[in-house]
Amino acid sequence: MSLPRLALTAGEPAGIGPELVARLAASDLPADLVAIADPALLAQAARAAGIELSLRSYDGAPVTARARGELRVVATTLSAAATPGRLDPRNAPYVLATLARAADGAGSGEFAAIVTAPVHKGVINDAGIPFTGHTEFFAARAGRDVVMMLTAPGGARNGGDLRVALATTHLPLAAVPAAITRAGLVQTLRILCDDLIAHFRIAAPRIAVLGLNPHAGEGGHLGREEIDVIAPAIGQLRAAGFDVQGPIPADTAFVPTQLQRYDAVLAMYHDQGLPVLKHAGFGHAVNVTLGLPYLRTSVDHGTALDLAGTGRADPGSLFAAARLALALARS
Ligand SMILES: NC(=O)c1ccc[n+]([C@@H]2O[C@H](COP(=O)([O-])OP(=O)(O)OC[C@H]3O[C@@H](n4cnc5c(N)ncnc54)[C@H](O)[C@@H]3O)[C@@H](O)[C@H]2O)c1
Ligand SMILES: N[C@H](C(=O)O)[C@H](O)COP(=O)(O)O
């Protein structure tokens, strides 16, 4: 039987992504690993980290076994030689070309899933290309509404997984209140519930929806978004039969006794939910994009320019992302 094929994008060439992809290839993960990257960059990162890598050109043929270190590559050429730790806007189109190739392959069924190493959003913008993240890039390319969810195995302290989804993703904090709309929340909650049922095999997901303001608005005295927007969206989902609770004050939503009651928490913005998730699981948590017509998982960390080229980057999250992608593909 052929192995499930995972597309691996190596991300920012000056970051830790190429080294992590090489480390994953050196593992015994039972998958047909296809990197979409510059082969010379992968070889250079592997050499620097003392990883033995055997690169082969990707020809599309199915494979039934993969030896440690074996990695097929869709060769994508850097615009400028990469130096670890030093960003170069000239390579931004290269980074986006790797994402586009992965998206097209996953969309056509060529890949069972995409697993992405981190990109640097700033340098892509410095190159004059508007870009806020993989999540938004894949959503736009697929023409779908999506939801960013991070999952930390065992992060709920009761042995369960901590899952945090976001109502808004990469935008300035000042723009958050206006970006939270009733229709948007309803769509986000539907995608979250549907994908927890379809992909995570949770028959009736229990969702905690956080408030936006301190103490969930304190009855309207500390903000009205809970009353005007969040509660009506929750009501709509509940009327449709979903187990959605809230708006819950964010400051106490993550205490273990509260978390036990839920399968996922919907935070209103990036830094309301992700610091908790990363505190609980940094290094082995996984970022999953829900709502895409294909599977996409990613690491819980960024480009770590300070570690690039040192061989000291922890590959735990990329391994977890690849394992989750495989599990989701099998299910
Ligand atoms: N999946 C992604 O593409 C992704 C995720 C998060 C951040 N980013 C981007 O990465 C860039 C840098 O972001 P940042 O500095 O806020 O976060 P970062 O995760 O790159 O670094 C934060 C700290 O964590 C450490 N760290 C990160 N990954 C590590 C690993 N695998 N092993 C050991 N230590 C690790 C770094 O050395 C640093 O001290 C930004 O452009 C950001 O947007 C991308
Ligand atoms: N919000 C993510 C995090 O903090 O880990 C990260 O920026 C990556 O997002 P994309 O997968 O959309 O690039």
pLDDT, tens digit (0-9, with 9 covering 90-100), for 258-291? 999 999 999 999 999 999 999 999 999 999 999 9
CA of 124, nearest ligand number: 1
State whether the beta carbon of 133 lies less than 6 angstroms from ligand 2.
yes
Asked if residue 206 and residue 127 are part of one domain, the reply reads: no
Closest CA to 322 of 15, 40, 3: 3
Q: pLDDT (tens digit, 9 = 90+) per residue, 36-95? A: 999 999 999 999 999 999 999 999 999 999 999 999 999 999 999 999 999 999 999 999
Compute CA 124 distance to the chain's CA centroid, rounded to the nearest angstrom: 18
Is the predicted pLDDT of residue 158 greater than 70, yes or no?
no
Tell me what ipTM this predicted complex has: 0.99
- Would you say residue 287 lies in a domain? no
**In total, how many domains does the chain have?**
2
Please tell me the distance from the alpha carbon of residue 74 to that of residue 175, in angstroms, as a whole number. Answer: 39
Is 301 annotated as a binding-site member? no
Ligand 1 mean position, distance from CA 38 (Å)? 21
State whether the beta carbon of 298 lies less than 6 angstroms from ligand 1.
yes
State whether the beta carbon of 290 lies less than 6 angstroms from ligand 2.
no
State whether the beta carbon of 171 lies less than 6 angstroms from ligand 1.
no
Other beta carbons less than 10 A from residue 33's beta carbon: 23
State the pLDDT confidence band at 115, using cuts at 50, 70 and 90.
very high
Reduced to 3 states (helix: H, G, I; strand: E, B; else coil), residue 288 is: strand
Is the distance from CB of 166 to CB of 270 less than 8 angstroms?
A: yes
State whether the beta carbon of 23 lies less than 6 angstroms from ligand 1.
no
Ligand 1 mean position, distance from CA 15 (Å)? 9
- Would you say residue 95 lies in a domain? yes
* Dihedral over Cα of 160, 24, 91, 282: its sign: positive
Other beta carbons less than 10 A from residue 17's beta carbon: 32
Asked if residue 119 and residue 190 are part of one domain, the reply reads: no
**What is the amino acid identity at position 22?**
A
Give the domain extent around 58: 5-143+292-330
- Would you say residue 285 lies in a domain? no
Ligand 1 mean position, distance from CA 280 (Å)? 16
Ligand 1 mean position, distance from CA 304 (Å)? 4
Q: Quote the tokens at residue 30.
A: 């039972």
- Would you say residue 131 lies in a domain? yes
Percent residues over pLDDT 70 in the chain? 99
153: domain CATH number is 3.40.718.10
Asked if residue 113 and residue 37 are part of one domain, the reply reads: yes
- Would you say residue 36 lies in a domain? yes
- Would you say residue 324 lies in a domain? yes
pLDDT on residue 156: 74
Q: Quote the tokens at residue 325.
A: 């992608």
Asked if residue 324 and residue 249 are part of one domain, the reply reads: no
- Would you say residue 229 lies in a domain? yes
Other beta carbons less than 10 A from residue 102's beta carbon: 29
Asked if residue 214 and residue 155 are part of one domain, the reply reads: yes
The protein residue with its alpha carbon nearest to ligand 2, atom 8, reads 133
Asked if residue 157 and residue 127 are part of one domain, the reply reads: no
Asked if residue 133 and residue 48 are part of one domain, the reply reads: yes
Q: Give the HSE-up count for residue 209: Cα atoms under 13 Å, Cβ half-sphere.
A: 28
Other beta carbons less than 10 A from residue 139's beta carbon: 19
- Would you say residue 286 lies in a domain? no
Asked if residue 126 and residue 226 are part of one domain, the reply reads: no
Is the distance from CB of 9 to CB of 100 less than 8 angstroms?
A: no
60: burial class by Cβ within 10 Å (0-12, 13-18, 19+)?
Answer: exposed
- What is residue 28's DSSP assignment? -
